[in-house]
């Protein structure tokens, strides 16, 4: 029975992968609707033939890797359970120490190492792909360093979460999900407070913007938006990527305005000011706090469903999964699998909300800067630097895009230009 379940899971994953390969490479139509051909949203007007070809190739492969990666995690956790590896990790941990906390730490290091090994091939393929298409400028050593930082940060947070979570489950197997949800609120806010000053600097160097004239203009925009910022930060991303980005991060006194140096190198001041006005709009319209509230509500639903599904799975397949009950730490891979499935299923909704907020931020920036030409050329350069598809396939947009497509963004600005054209 166990062997059959494993075989069926591998077959299901293979069929799933073949479906998305067929959809992305043979079925999906990414050509522009007739009414947008020749407009400023048409990539043939701002990309050369080679860039057009590369953007299609790169986007298709990158999208396929995205759709393969998350279900690979589900398959990994499922196989870990049915083939008894979770049970083996627990046994090794128990043999290594009598201390309960150390047992959890040892169990999690084994689980984390196996998960890292299982997902490493796809991660490396993604890195190699970005190098091949000149998106990434990162050396393998630098990339590997970032991967290891990810590993240890995730491990540290997981150890804290698991220790608290399984203590709650042992105290209340009926209400643990609710108590865990209550703790996610301060934990999420704490992480967001730490992100700009503790976590982000582990990956890159941040320093005050060198271009003081540009910094003055950005801070002037921030003052108009009532953003409490005294500095604009620059981050050295050119060593890692040719892509462009800028953002406002953190909460409270740790809020930061950040520009990638690639953005500073590739865009002019008008284009940068439009992008910064867009980022500031998220602060003005409280999108960060709306996002936190939405995440917290989704967490409540996700934890409750996880509780119910785990109880059902334990009652029906506990023996096959080699787990005695929910309170048994060996059930942790099942919990991770269910939560990952829930987040993937919820991503179309969260992406839809995000696209609405991004649309609002675009509108705010257009009306604030009143420079549609700078906005359009900035979006065109973002498309070129990331080899992005202007009109991605529907399923890609639904599951991947937290921003409107470039077609939608540029077309909306052209509409603004038309509506505000000088009257004769």
- Active site (catalytic) residues: 279, 362
Going from the C-alpha of 267 to that of each of 19, 241, 378, the distances in angstroms are: 39, 15, 7
Distance CA 93, CA 86 (A): 11
Determine whether the annotation assigns residue 287 to a binding site. no
Cβ–Cβ < 8 Å for 313, 321: yes
| Residue labelled with tokens 């075989």 | 7
Buried b / exposed e across 120-133, counting CB within 10 Å, b at 16+?
eeeeeebbebbeeb
Q: Extract the tokens encoding 387.
A: 């080899």
Q: Is 231 annotated as a binding residue?
A: no
The answer for residues whose C-beta is within 8 angstroms of residue 50's C-beta and 6 or more apart is none
Cα–Cα distance for residue pair 294/298, rounded to 1 Å = 6
Residue 386's closest CA among 32, 54, 65, 48? Answer: 54
Task: Give the span between the Cα atoms of 87 and 92, in whole angstroms.
Answer: 9
CA–CA gap between residue 379 and residue 59 (Å, rounded): 17
Q: Residue 327: CB partners within 8 Å, gap ≥ 6?
A: 166, 169, 170, 173
How many CA atoms lie less than 13 Å away from 44 in the CB half-sphere?
Answer: 6
Beta bridge partners of 257: 232, 248
Binding-site residues for Zn(2+), please?
Answer: 278, 282, 358
Binding-site residues, please?
Answer: 278, 282, 358
């Amino acid at each position: 029975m166990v062997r059959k379940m494993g075989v069926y899971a591998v077959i299901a994953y293979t069929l799933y992968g073949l479906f998305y390969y067929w959809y992305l490479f043979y079925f999906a139509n990414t050509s522009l609707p007739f009414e947008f051909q020749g407009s400023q949203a048409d990539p043939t007007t701002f990309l050369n033939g080679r860039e057009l070809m590369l953007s299609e190739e790169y986007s298709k492969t990158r999208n396929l890797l995205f759709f393969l990666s998350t279900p690979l995690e589900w398959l990994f956790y499922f196989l870990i359970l049915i083939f008894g590896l979770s049970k083996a990790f627990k046994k090794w941990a128990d043999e290594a120490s009598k201390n309960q906390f150390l047992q959890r730490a040892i169990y999690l290091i084994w689980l984390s190492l196996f998960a890292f090994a299982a997902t490493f091939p796809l991660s490396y393929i993604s890195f190699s792909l970005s190098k091949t298409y000149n998106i990434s400028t990162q050396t393998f050593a630098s990339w590997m360093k970032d991967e290891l930082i990810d590993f240890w940060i995730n491990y540290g947070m997981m150890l804290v979460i698991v220790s608290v979570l399984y203590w709650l489950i042992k105290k209340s197997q009926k209400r643990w999900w609710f108590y865990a949800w209550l703790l996610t609120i301060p934990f999420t806010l704490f992480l967001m407070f730490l992100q700009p000053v503790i976590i982000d600097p582990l990956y890159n160097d941040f320093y005050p913007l060198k271009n003081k004239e540009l910094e003055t203009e950005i801070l002037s925009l921030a003052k108009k938006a009532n953003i409490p910022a005294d500095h604009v930060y620059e981050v050295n991303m050119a060593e890692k990527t040719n892509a462009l980005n800028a953002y406002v991060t953190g909460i409270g006194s740790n809020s930061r305005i950040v520009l990638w140096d690639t953005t500073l190198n590739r865009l002019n001041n008008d284009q940068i000011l439009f992008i910064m006005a867009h980022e500031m709009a998220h602060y003005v319209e409280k999108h960060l706090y709306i996002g936190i509230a939405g995440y917290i509500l989704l967490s409540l639903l996700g934890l409750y469903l996880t509780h119910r599904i785990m109880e059902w799975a334990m009652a029906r397949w506990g023996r096959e999964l080699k787990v005695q009950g929910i309170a048994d730490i060996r059930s942790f891979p099942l919990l991770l699998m269910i939560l990952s499935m829930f987040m993937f299923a919820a991503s179309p909704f969260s992406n839809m909300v995000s696209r609405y907020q991004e649309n609002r931020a675009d509108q705010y920036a257009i009306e604030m800067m009143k420079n549609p030409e700078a906005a359009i050329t900035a979006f065109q350069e973002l498309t070129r630097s990331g080899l992005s598809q202007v009109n991605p396939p529907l399923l890609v947009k639904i599951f991947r895009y937290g921003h409107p497509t470039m077609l939608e963004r540029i077309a909306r600005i052209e509409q603004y230009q038309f509506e505000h054209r000088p009257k004769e």
